[in-house]
Structure 1
Amino acid sequence: MNGRTLWLFLLLSSTGAALQMTGPSTYEARVGSNAHIPCTFTADTLPVDPKNFIVFWYLEKNLILQYDKIVTSDPRYSLDEAQALNGIADLTISNTFLSDGGTYTCSVTKEPSRKVKEIKVEISGGALQMTGPSNYEVRVGSIAHIPCTFTADTLPADPRYFAVVWHFEGKLILSYNNTVIPTDPRYSLDKDRALNGNAGLTVSNLSLSDGGVYTCSVNYSSFPMEREIRMNVSAQPLLSILNKNVQRNTENILTCMASGFFPNDINVTWYKDGEVLKNQSMGEPLQYDNGTYQVNSTVTITPSDDDQNKMLSCRIQHVSLEEPLREDFHITYQESSSQAGMIIGIVIAVIGIIAAVIWWKRKLCIKEEENPGIV
């Protein structure tokens, strides 16, 4: 008897009153869940005698489970023998895949009767949903924990049907399928956390070249999903004021340098007593070999006597800073070279006068000793 003849035989076989099939003809399950496809029946006597009882399960006309001695085509398929003898011959499928959807046929034989029932099974993919942000900010030299979170009907996930793959700019950098395999020792993934919905990638000792688009792919029960996360790596600027001494009533140019920052979008501003100064300008950022930038901001001031001890400030705003970076200093005056020369000349003259007076007094004292009584 060929397969088609057997199939027709099952469909057209005896329909004696001793055996009647019951239950729904449709069933819905979700990826990753345990499905219990219904096949119930009534008989004159329950439990039935196992010597005269057989159950067959078919998927799209292909035999997948046989019960007289349990034989299955997939270890995920099972049937409860005690329940089957009492009228519940349901097929259980553990950890369902999308491919488990289709038309199932339950064939129950209680000699001399045989009955069949078709059940249409639909498997939805809602069991796995990716969550978490699409952007991640981090600084050079730190440790990144790039987020990749998901939800599923059952957690922790069964590691036999679970896999995670990470790509950076389209290039494979880490895979997990029972074993974590990174392409660089700086990449790692926590297996236990991954099975519980957090498949985040850890990257140690970050450099600017680590910035870019990462793709997290999670495959659970043959239902893959992926999510892109852009990691933005920044470097904090250093602030240096090149000269803090100014001359009064003279045009002075002060320079504030920001260095070692990334990305190149930055704002450097000069203030005096909290107010933005005029006549300031910022040059074009210059890039170092390591990818970071340096830029100078200058301000031109002509301080008067009234500006003595007023506060000058340079402030830097950058994406890597939680609050602006700043340096303050008080205006102190450095005398000009002509003024300094005049002061030095006066000091020398005073010293000369003092020395002459001392010499003259000493001479008078000597004369008085040589000629007593002479004033």
Structure 2
Amino acid sequence: MNGRIVWLFHLLCFTGAALQMTGPSTYKARVGSIAHIPCTFTAHKLPADPKYFAVIWNLEGKHILSYDNIVTSTDPRYSLDKDRALNGSAHLTISNTFPSDGGIYTCSVIDSPVRREKEIRVKISGAALQMTGPFTYEARVGSIAHIPCTFKADKLPANPKYFAIFWYLKGKHILSYDNTVIPTDPRYSLDKDRALNGNASLTISNPSVSDGGLYTCSVNYSSFLMKRKISMTLSARPLLSMLGSVQRNRENTLTCMANRYFPNDINVTWYKDGKVLKNQSMGEPLQYDNGTYQVNSTAKITPSDDDRNKTFSCRIQHVSLQEPLQEDFQLSYEGTNNQEFQSESSSHVVIIIGIVIAVVLIIGIIAAVILCRQKRKRKGQAFGVCPLLQCPSSTDESIV
């Protein structure tokens, strides 16, 4: 009996001695760098058997990462190399360290049935500068774009003596701020006061298609440099217009134009009473000098009396639209055969043209009267020389 106890005692002692924690108890890193917090150990047999092996990391007593066949973490910045851990190096890697990452870490290694722990004090030094904000930004052609670049620092507003900002588009310098904002294009601007308080966003007035791409915001504060890349995509809403006239009992071509849109991918469809017209086709898109596009969709119809008051629609679907863009019109018919059908859209155009012509005629008549009166005064004649309008007599004082 005593022999078995001695044997178990030696077995436990041997197993315990087979797992020993090694490595330093302190570690230093700079803000924004990649930290590799050390946790090394020796064991009787390496690599360890994954069935009986585990690693647990805690920060100030709070669990942040574990490895037990798989690595799970509470922050995507935390990681651990499984193969290296099985061979005696269970380092915790932290990408883009923050000042808050400093503190006391505990590395626990379990090689069943033995568990060993080691504390490592981590100090994060350097300027407390952290880049924040999204990595993508969407803007509209012709609007005002505010490409985001925000950051946090130990002390804000920043001291202008130790602070600078640089903006790049596709690797090419476009704006700098070092006490003075200097852009390479008058459309670029930056608010100095907001920049000193953590918002170095770039403003672009009237952006065009060519302004899309990968931007880099570089913030230099107290000899510490951090960069952030932001991809800006642009879109332009299409303008919809319909062309063509419609007559009964003959083939007519309806044209729907999508104009000034970007990007090129677009869908233009014709409908009759909500059903897709069969005889329709899309033309080849044309690109303007500013990068936007124009495309026509045509539909051929042969309207009859049965089509009276039917609703025809042109619908556009595009990434710039939250909902499809659609215009409807109804065919109306009055009178005898072979008279022209007219859509609501075209009738509105006729009314507008009529009003414009009437206004022009009235202005022309008034101008002619004034001209005649002026000539009469200069030449002392009773009548002017207008071929279509006789000038008023000298006794008519109502026209002035």
CA shift for structure 1 position 123: 4.2
Query: Alpha carbon RMSD of aligned pairs, Å?
Result: 3.1
Structure 1 position 199 matched with structure 2 position 205: no
Q: Distance in 2 between matches of 1:211 and 1:335?
A: 55
Q: Is the 8 A contact 2:308 2:333 kept in 1?
A: yes
Which fold has the larger relative contact order, with Cα–Cα distance below 8 Å and residues 6 or more apart in sequence?
A: 1
Distance 1:339 1:185 in 2: 59
1:31–1:192 CA distance, 2 compared to 1 (3 A) = farther
Structure 1 residue 137: Cα displacement: 1.7
Matches of 1:203 and 1:186 in 2, distance apart? 5
Partner AA of 1:256 in structure 2: C
> Equivalent residue for 2:322?
322
Taking the aligned partners of 2:325 and 2:301, their CA distance within structure 1 comes to 22
Query: Structure 1 residues 27 and 156, CA, compared in 2 at 3 Å: closer, same or farther?
Result: farther
Give the superposition deviation at 1:263: 1.6
Q: Match of 2:234, as an amino acid?
A: V
Write the distance in 2 (CA, Å) between the matches of 1:184 and 1:144: 14
- 1:267-346, aligned counterparts within 5 Å? 267-333=267-333, 339=338
- How far the C-alpha of 1:307 sits from its partner, in A, is 2.0
C-alpha distance in 2, partners of 1:241/1:27? 71
Residue of structure 2 in register with 1:255 after alignment: 255
How many percent identity over aligned positions? 74
| Equivalent AA in structure 2 for residue 140 of structure 1 | V
**2:127/2:224 contact within 8 Å kept:** no
- Tell me the equivalent position of 1:5: none
**CA shift in 2, pair 1:302/1:218, >3 Å:** same
Q: What are the residue-to-residue correspondences of 1:183-198 with 2, within 5 Å?
A: 183-198=184-199
Provide the C-alpha distance between the structure 2 equivalents of 1:334 and 1:253, rounded to a whole number of angstroms: 21
- Contact 2:139/2:145 (8 A) holds in 1: yes
Give me the whole-angstrom Cα distance separating, in 2, the residues matched to 1:230 and 1:326. 31
| TM-score after normalising by structure 2 | 0.51
Structure 1, unaligned runs of 5 or more: 1-24, 33-97, 99-119, 341-375
Q: Distance in 2 between matches of 1:26 and 1:179?
A: 43
1:147 to 1:339, Cα distance in 2 relative to 1, 3 A: closer
Residues 339 and 122 (structure 1), Cα distance of their counterparts in 2 relative to 1, 3 Å cut: closer
Q: How many residues align?
A: 228
User: Measured at CA, do residues 330 and 167 of structure 1 come closer, stay the same or move farther in structure 2, by a change above 3 Å?
Assistant: same
Give the secondary-structure state (helix, strand or coil) at the position aligned to 1:332. Answer: coil
CA displacement 1:1-20 (0-9 Å, x = unmatched): xxxxxxxxxxxxxxxxxxxx
Amino acid at match of 1:181: I
Deviations 1:146-193 (CA, angstroms, capped at 9, x unpaired): 111112233222322222100112111111122222222221111111
Distance 1:335 1:223, change over 3 A: farther
Deviation string for 1:278-302 (max 9, x for gaps)?
2222112111233221111112233
Quote the offset at 1:30 in angstroms: 6.5
CA, structure 1 residues 27+288, in 2 after alignment: closer, same or farther (shift >3 Å)? closer
In structure 2, relative to structure 1, the CA distance for the partners of 1:331 and 1:234 (3 Å cut) is same
Task: Could you tell me which runs of 5 or more consecutive residues in structure 2 were left unpaired when the two chains were aligned.
Answer: 1-24, 33-98, 100-120, 340-400
Q: Which amino acid aligns with 1:301?
A: I
Mapped pair 1:144 → 2:145: yes
Deviations 1:234-258 (A, max 9, x none): 222221111142424x433211111
Structure exhibiting the larger radius of gyration computed from Cα positions: 1
User: Structure 1 residues 278, 203: closer, same or farther in 2, change over 3 A?
Assistant: same
Please identify, of 297-306 and 189-198, the stretch whose mean Cα deviation from structure 2 is larger: 297-306
Equivalent pair of 1:132/1:149 in contact (CA under 8 Å): yes
